[in-house]
Amino acid sequence: MNKTREAEALDAYSSLVNFAAERVGPAVVKIETKVAHARGKDRGQGQGSGVIFRRDGQILTNAHVVEGARAVRVVLADGRQFEAGVLGTDRAHDIAEIRIGARNLPVAELSERPLKVGQLVVAVGNPFGLGWTVTSGVVSALNRELPNPRGGKLTDLIQTDAPINPGSSGGPLVDSQGRIVGITTAIVPFAQGLGFAVPTSTALRILGKFIVPERSTSALSLGLGGTQTNIAEWIVTRNRLPNKEGVLVLEIKPDSPAAKASLKLNDVIVDVNGKAVRTPQDMAKELEQFKGGDTVSVGFLRDSTKRKVTVTLNDKQNVGT
């Protein structure tokens, strides 16, 4: 190959990698997990990556990135930060879904198109917490198996030589069009060019098992939707809370009772009329005894401090998600 053709080939390769990275990049997020510090402050306990696949804040990542975390924070490519609720984890396939309280977010396309060995792929993630990083390579093999550190085997994996480093786990592996073909999950320590990803087809099958709480009874009464979330121990202690869990608010319907009471996305509801709640189901149970026009007090956390607001309920049949 002469120098002109070599330069043209490199330019073509670079253009493909650049196009794929720019297309998926805005949807790639950094995930930080936290635990309580003995002195009463949060400290970082782990980090990984994820990718937004729905505009209402639903994010794909690895189960091992978020499993067991007391708090999960998501940092978007534009620098915005949100607390996240874990909607579900599947340890056997190392897939998890989390959600943040935001709308109209950039998303990446999920693709189930068949892959071929030798096909160009690009990995985007946050290795070692360095922020948005792009690596490229090819599909080295398909249908690989690896021991799962959490028990059993990870099966049907994509093997790639695109470098995957700690902190990149949970990020997307994409094709030349920026479509997600897998979620990076593992590397073989001390080996070069041995990275692995869970295929998108597997991830989609797992996502079908996770129930997104968009239409809970609590949403029909207050006009909000949320999911159970963990509360750091120092926040529990400082605010004298009876539980270490609450309901993270992920959506609020315009003109709903919640909106009129100035509740906000990422508030964590901890009690309804003085009765502690841990889940959307707990909220639904407490609200069953009321009707439209009744007022209830709602205790919630904002900026790590407990606050209280009075909410006037609408009729359940008149309030949607």
9 dihedral zone (left: phi>0; alpha: psi -120 to 50; beta): alpha
Could you tell me if 319 and 220 are in contact, meaning their C-beta atoms sit under 8 angstroms apart? yes
Collect all residues with Cβ–Cβ distance below 8 Å to 201 and sequence separation of at least 6.
Answer: 112
Given the residues 42, 49, 56, 64, the one annotated as active site: 64
Could you tell me if 250 and 317 are in contact, meaning their C-beta atoms sit under 8 angstroms apart? no
Other CB atoms within 10 Å distance of the CB of residue 69: 20
Given the residues 42, 56, 90, 94, the one annotated as active site: 94
Tokens, residue 287: 């609200």
Amino acid letter, 29: V
- Is 303 noted as a catalytic residue in this protein? no
Could you tell me if 187 and 194 are in contact, meaning their C-beta atoms sit under 8 angstroms apart? yes
Name the burial class of residue 15, with classes exposed (0-12), middle (13-18) and buried (19+) by CB atoms within 10 angstroms of its CB: exposed
Given the residues 49, 136, 140, 169, the one annotated as active site: 169
- Is 94 noted as a catalytic residue in this protein? yes
* Catalytic positions, written as ranges: 64, 94, 169
